[in-house]
Amino acid sequence: MKLGLYPGSFDPITFGHTNVIERGLNVVDRLVIGVAINVQKRTLFTPEERVELIREAIPDSRVEVASFEGLLVDYARSQGADVILRGLRGVADFEFEFQMAQMNRRLGKGVETVFLMTGQEHFYVSSQLVREVASFGGNVHGLVPENVEKALLKRFEEQKK
């Protein structure tokens, strides 16, 4: 029984992420999606909202969604994760991911990082771009799950008031 931990900010979850989750479930038996709480980073959605959006978008009994604070490797250990899963979209992601994986290996003692290439139809999708496009009223249909699309519309409507 292999347990994977898929960490991220997920602000919000995109089809790039759901693609990694789907394919990750071919590699591990169960997946914990860890929504990182970073008080220094301003996010569009609260950790609770981000967790809820993922839960709604991924109704799969093999997937558990939770938020965590502190070091990723400590959370991975507390969950008994065998591997940390990350998606790679291309060379632009590589440098940061390589640094993080090396640091986590140093800190983590035993938790391996496994990279999955994001499906090519999702290569250009990022939470940051989705937020930006949606903030200017652009169409993000097909880039994020439907519940996220609705939540984005609502959040930017609220911000206009």
Among the listed residues 30, 50, 127, 131, the single catalytic one is 127
- Which range touches ligand PNS (CB under 6 A), out of 5-13, 112-120, 137-145, 146-154? 5-13
For the question of residue 127 being annotated catalytic, the response is yes
Q: Quick check: 92 binds ligand PNS (CB under 6 A)?
A: no
Pattern 10-49, ligand PNS, x by CB under 6 A: --------------------------x-------------
Is residue 61 annotated as a catalytic residue, yes or no? no
Distance (Å, whole) CA 54 – CA 37: 15
Indicate which single residue of 4, 5, 7, 15 sits in contact with ligand PNS (rule: CB under 6 A).
Answer: 7
The 3 state secondary structure assigned to the chain is: CCEEEEEECCCCCCHHHHHHHHHHCCCCCEEEEEEECCCCCCCCCCHHHHHHHHHHHCCCCCEEEEEECCCHHHHHHHHCCCEEEEEECCHHHHHHHHHHHHHHHHHHCCCEEEEEECCHHHCCCCHHHHHHHHHCCCCCECCECHHHHHHHHHHHHHHHC
**Judged by CB under 6 A, which stretch of 18-26, 100-108, 129-137, 139-147 contacts ligand PNS?**
100-108
Residues near ligand PNS (CB under 6 A), total: 9
Footprint of ligand PNS on this chain (CB under 6 A)?
Answer: 7-9, 36, 71-72, 100, 103-104
- Residues carrying an active site annotation: 17, 41, 89, 127
